[in-house]
Amino acid sequence: MNASGNQPVRVVRSPEDLAVVVCQAKQAGQRIGLVPTMGALHAGHLSLAEASCQECDVTIVTIFVNPTQFGPDEDLTRYPRDLAHDFKLLEPLGVDIVFAPSVETMYPAGHETRVELGELGSVLEGACRPGHFSGVATVVLKLFHLVPADVAYFGHKDYQQTLVVRQMVRDLNVPIEIRVCPIVRAADGLALSSRNTYLSPDEHRQALGLSQSLQLAADLVAAGETDAARLEQQMRAHLAKVGGIVLEYIALLKSGTVTPVDRIEQETVVAIAARVGQTRLIDNRIIQPAPAP
């Protein structure tokens, strides 16, 4: 709808105003793309908005720091927020609408309903962050209802989140297509994250250990290594050498699942979570098995 160019993005705050826009687009038979974000946008988010602008007639980016996906000891209050800057970043892309509701709008008094996942929501990130995926699934489903889009875009950096959203959509028969876009990395390899702004220069250097260890795993597999335990061992050794990293988990998973693999015989996702200083970071990499010799 909004031709690419520096047109100001229209910001909508209320579900009622949003419904008017969505209804008009639906009636005009336009394809709607939804990009749910928590703001503090970086090139990873922008790649999602770009994909939507290319593939859809109307692109709606939501910016909402969702309190229910943060644990009590997490960084909800200090999570970076800069709406004015976010709007500026979205303008050149051709994004039509930014939906930026308040917490009171999304969770009025008396809000009690939540979406619960099974096993998938309780392992890895779910084990480290109890309740996190229930909060994610609940707010994403609310956004899917507020913006009944044709397609919604998520980033592969939150690998388990993409599985959670896909599972919820499948289980609850939500009529929406889910698209997952690749991780966007800084030139030095660090996976882009709004939380990277927390890192001091020293911590930033240490944080590179995560993407380096994933690269190491990919290199070892390309060289013929197939044993998951040995790969994890090599990754741990690299992280120890870098120092300053408190590892939470390394997981080698059958792609599209959270099922651990013993051997790299099919597409595998290597996922890592760690703390660097006060900052919790996650990263992952899709690894293909080496071709048979």
Closer by beta carbon to a second copy, 5 or else 112: 112
Beta bridge partners of 250: 272
Q: Are strands 279-287 and 268-276 parallel, antiparallel or unpaired?
A: antiparallel
Q: Please, what is the minimum distance in Å from the beta carbon of residue 267 to a second copy?
A: 19
C-alpha span between 96 and 79 (Å, rounded)? 25
Both structure tokens of 89: 């970043």
C-alpha span between 132 and 67 (Å, rounded)? 10
Pick the closest to residue 79 from 283, 248, 249, 280 (CA basis).
280
Q: Please, what is the minimum distance in Å from the beta carbon of residue 42 to a second copy?
A: 28
Q: Please, what is the minimum distance in Å from the beta carbon of residue 172 to a second copy?
A: 6
Pick the closest to residue 37 from 140, 127, 112 (CA basis).
140
> Of 45, 132, 156, 238, which residue is the catalytic one?
45
45 assigned to active site: yes
Which bin fits 21, alpha (ψ -120 to 50), beta or left (φ > 0)? Answer: alpha
Q: Please, what is the minimum distance in Å from the beta carbon of residue 249 to a second copy?
A: 21
Distance of CA 132 to the CA centre of its chain: 13
Which bin fits 69, alpha (ψ -120 to 50), beta or left (φ > 0)? Answer: alpha
Q: Please, what is the minimum distance in Å from the beta carbon of residue 130 to a second copy?
A: 15
Closer by beta carbon to a second copy, 53 or else 137: 137
Phi, psi for 61 (deg, rounded to 5): -100, 130
Q: Please, what is the minimum distance in Å from the beta carbon of residue 146 to a second copy?
A: 5
Closer by beta carbon to a second copy, 119 or else 262: 119
Closer by beta carbon to a second copy, 85 or else 114: 114
Closer by beta carbon to a second copy, 226 or else 255: 255
Closer by beta carbon to a second copy, 177 or else 202: 177
Residues in contact with a second copy by CB under 8 A are 15, 19, 111-120, 137-138, 141-142, 145-146, 148, 167-168, 171-175
Burial category of 102 from C-beta neighbours within 10 Å (exposed 0-12, middle 13-18, buried 19 and up): exposed
Pick the closest to residue 273 from 233, 204, 214, 194 (CA basis).
214
- What lies within 8 Å, CB to CB, of 22 at 6+ separation is 32, 60, 146, 147, 148
C-alpha span between 194 and 172 (Å, rounded)? 30
Q: Which residues are catalytic?
A: 45
